[in-house]
Amino acid sequence: MTLIWWIRQVFLTLSACFFLAWGVNLLIGAFKLEDPFYFIMIFFASNLMILISATLLFGFVLRMVNMHKKERENDADL
């Protein structure tokens, strides 16, 4: 059970990193556009993608750190 949980958390963390990098790449690419409408749309979409991905990444890392601390406490109690 714990191994499956860790694998799932690592997969979710890597997914959040991927979407965070993709959002940053979109943000950089938005500044190369010449049409103002497309610039505004991609600018806000990439910022939303970055915000959501960074929040999820923070949550997944925090959850893994807390689980690691609990496992260390359980090992110390034995």
Q: Which domain holds residue 16?
A: 2-77
Position 73 confidence tier, pLDDT thresholds 50, 70, 90: confident
The domain total for the chain is: 1
For residue 62, the tally of other CB atoms under 10 A from its CB is 10
Q: DSSP assignment, residue 76?
A: H
- Mean pLDDT for the chain overall: 94
Position 37 confidence tier, pLDDT thresholds 50, 70, 90: very high
Q: On the CB side of 68, how many CA atoms lie within 13 Å of its CA?
A: 8
Task: Give the pLDDT mean for 22-45.
Answer: 96
